[in-house]
Chains A and B, each alone.
Chain A
């Protein structure tokens, strides 16, 4: 069964450094999302992406964040200058098309900012 994959599984970085989290959505999916989950808290929406454009973003997704689909398979989340409070699990998700609602989540990347 097709899966969303994410790399790395764990990323440790120093405050102020840039990080790129990578996702490979399910191959025939068209809608892509990033969510984050601070330890012990709920999963929070960050951004949705369709047709090479951001379609919606939350207030968390400020100018330090950006997303890109650099090729036909990868979907990346970049944090330009990490802060301590960016430490969280970051989940990528994808949906096939607008006729279905099911979002399939990847296993997540644990980001630790020191």
Chain B
């Protein structure tokens, strides 16, 4: 089955810096890759997603890139703010009616003022 690896496990940056989180997946049939942000005591919240027919997607300060050949995808956050501090999870699935998400191990991002 699908396996998703995520790095780094923790990431500390200064406010205004960029942050990059990387994930690799194992199943070439996976074609949907969402990123979730989880704040303390809350459920995962979708922040951006990408499908395999697209190499890059951007939404304001957040962008995701996908390299299907290498089977890796990355989350880029620019101009980080303290409120970006949270745990970020990548996930992969085969988009279909009953798709399940396979999550990475998470990255704890700490943005210091």
Contact = CB atoms under 8 A, between A and B. Distances in A.
Interface residues of B, number: 26
Interface stretch (B43-51, B62-70, B72-80): B43-51
B98 A50 contact: yes
Which bucket holds chain A's interface residue count? 20 to 34
A105 B103 contact: no
Interface string A1-13: 0001010000000
A103 interface: yes
A43 interface: yes
A31 B98 contact: yes
Interface stretch (B11-19, B53-61, B88-96): B88-96
B43 A31 contact: no
B102 A56 contact: no
Given A98-B96, A101-B95, A45 B101 contact: yes
A91 to B, nearest CB: 5
Interface string A94-114: 000110011111111000000
A103 B98 CA distance: 11
Interface string A50-72: 10000110100000000000000
A2 B94 CA distance: 25
Given A48-B100, A58-B100, A108-B42, 11 more contacts: A31-B97, A35-B101, A41-B105, A42-B104, A42-B105, A48-B99, A50-B98, A101-B49, A101-B95, A103-B101, A107-B41
25 contacts: A4-B43, A6-B43, A35-B101, A41-B105, A42-B103, A42-B106, A44-B103, A45-B100, A45-B101, A48-B99, A48-B100, A50-B98, A55-B97, A56-B100, A98-B96, A101-B32, A101-B34, A101-B93, A101-B95, A101-B99, A103-B34, A103-B101, A104-B46, A105-B45, A107-B42
